[in-house]
Amino acid sequence: MHDDLITIARFESGMEAHEARIELDSRDIECVIAGETATDSVLPGGLGAGSVELLVRASDVARAVEVLRHTPAGRDLDPDLGTGMDEDVSPWFLATPEQLEAKVREWGDLAGDRLFIDHLTSYSGDHVYALTLSDFDVPREQKHAHYFAQPHAHEPGTTAGMMDVIEQLVTGKNLRGEPTSLDVDQVLAQTLLTFNPIGNPQGRAAAPVLCWDGADYTNDELWCWMRGEDPAMAGKMWQRLDLWDTREVTTPDPIGIVYEQIDEFRYVEPNRSHLSSYFKLFFQMDGMYAYECWLDLHQTEFVNSDRNCMMLLPIEGLATGDILATDRAWGQAICNAWSAAGYRPAPQPEHLGYTGTQANYFRRTWGPLHQRMNIVSTEVKNNAADAPAAFQLDAQGVAITRSIERLLG
Ligand SMILES: [Zn+2]
């Protein structure tokens, strides 16, 4: 077996594991059973779940789970794998505008003068929030100011990661009730942290799932939700444009959730046009706090790759000199933190690889910013059985936490 093995089920006895294996063998899905000997020979029966593990290749997880969920082994499958049969993640995977609104109210009550809540109102009537945490008794010039944002409605793990870190900074615990690893008082005394957890609430609210865990949609279907289905080609996603006008193009129906409507006729992809709420809010907040660094959070499907996360530097040439060197060191620190957490990152940060039209969008919208401040982006695996909700949240959380720690003296 050449790619990584993932534990998909835990059984109380080797017998149950073998029954599951027979099911998988009959469909040519290779698997490995681990932990069997100790269980059966020393303590037959009576052991808690988790004694015998069934592992398959990462690339076979979705198929194996689909096979086993219809057999007696279904009840022993790892609930984090996501297959429509998993636990309800909505108490801690917070990614919808409603979930954000509820938390903003709660945090506003809990955090007192350590949280400033700014927002602008999008054309759709949604609030796009900038949540700023700091010890405001400490003057700005004695602190590092860091911006965190996400532009893409189909990448909810980015929001969930930000929500989890904000919860830690407000309550000292994450959304699953575990204590934070951050020294919150030190963080707030030495930094000013602004989060825009949902850059395009209109798009996010139109998403068909809370978390893309690979159970309900293929990648092609996800991409048709993202940009809309091409009216000229069924089953294929539409164009990727920075700004478009319904009077000038034949549009998908429904319109892809990646786009934000900015007036009666026009739509933008948020991170490719300064007319988006995502960019307008940044410039508004930057006018107040003059950020030194911006972590932009993204997800991608890692098709034909055994990686599940990577760090992106600006398109080659946009950041130079000391700024690029710092971008690179910062990205490397996140890659290392991901490796330490057991994820499978690309070993080094890489330049965003766009050419042609997409590169031109980025040069125009991001070029001046890259010459002034440090900006890097995460990419965490989306829409796969081996990228469950907890992984998506935690991988973004590790990147955010490492970015904050980088600034502490
Ligand atoms: Zn993205």
What is Dmax (Cα atoms) for the chain?
Answer: 73
* Two tokens, residue 74: 């279904």
pLDDT computed for residue 62 by the predictor? 74
Is 340's pLDDT higher than 50? yes
For residue 3, the model assigns a pLDDT of: 66
CA of 43 to the centre of ligand 1 (A): 49
Confidence grade of residue 80 (pLDDT, cut at 50, 70, 90): low
Kindly state the percentage of the chain with pLDDT values over 90. Answer: 79
pLDDT of residue 15: 86
Q: Model confidence at 247, in pLDDT bands (50, 70, 90)?
A: very high
pLDDT band at 67 (very low <50, low <70, confident <90, very high): confident
Find out whether the peptide bond into 156 is cis, omega within 30 degrees of 0.
no
pLDDT (tens digit per residue) in 290-304: 999 999 999 999 999
As a whole number of angstroms, the distance between CA 334 and CA 378 comes to 9
For 238-262, letters b (16+ CB in 10 Å) and e give beebbbbeeeeeebbeebbbbbbbb
Average pLDDT over residues 252-267: 98
| 189-209 tens-digit pLDDT | 999 999 999 999 999 999 999
Distance 300 CA to ligand 1 centre (A): 7
The hierarchical CATH code for the domain 5-77 is 3.30.70.1530
Distance 152 CA to ligand 1 centre (A): 5
191: which 2 tokens? 């930094």
Per domain, the residue ranges of the chain are 5-77, 97-205+270-407
Is residue 45 scored above 70 in pLDDT? no
- Distance between Cα 109 and ligand 1 center (Å): 32
Compute the distance from residue 359 Cα to the ligand 1 centre, in Å: 15
Ligand 1 centre distance from Cα of residue 271 (Å): 9
pLDDT given at position 81: 66
Ligand 1 centroid to Cα of residue 298, in Å, is: 4
Ligand 1 centroid–CA 139 distance in Å is 34
Polymer length of the chain: 409
The reply to whether 5-77 and 97-205+270-407 are identical in fold is no
**DSSP H helical segments within 112-178, as ranges?**
156-171
Positive or negative, the CA dihedral 164, 165, 168, 173 is: positive
pLDDT band at 14 (very low <50, low <70, confident <90, very high): confident
pLDDT at residue number 85: 47
Q: How far is the centre of ligand 1, averaged over its atoms, from the C-alpha of 123 (Å)?
A: 21
The burial of 20, by beta-carbon neighbours within 10 Å (0-12 exposed, 13-18 middle, 19 or more buried), is given as buried
pLDDT at 35: 85
The Cα 204–Cα 11 span in angstroms is: 38
296 C-alpha to ligand 1 centroid (Å):
9
308 CA distance to ligand 1 middle (Å): 14
Ligand 1 centroid to Cα of residue 393, in Å, is 15
Cα angle, residue 202 at apex, residues 201 and 205 outer, rounded to 5°: 80
Q: Report residue 200 as tokens.
A: 């395009």
Instruction: Look at residue 183 and tell me whether its pLDDT is greater than 70.
Output: yes
Per-residue model confidence (pLDDT) at position 37: 56
Fold of domain 97-205+270-407: Aminopeptidase (3.40.630)
Distance 7 CA to ligand 1 centre (A): 29
Cα 320 to ligand 1 centroid, rounded to whole Å: 23
Task: Quote the ligand 1 centre to 169 CA distance (angstroms).
Answer: 25
Whether pLDDT at 43 is above 60: no
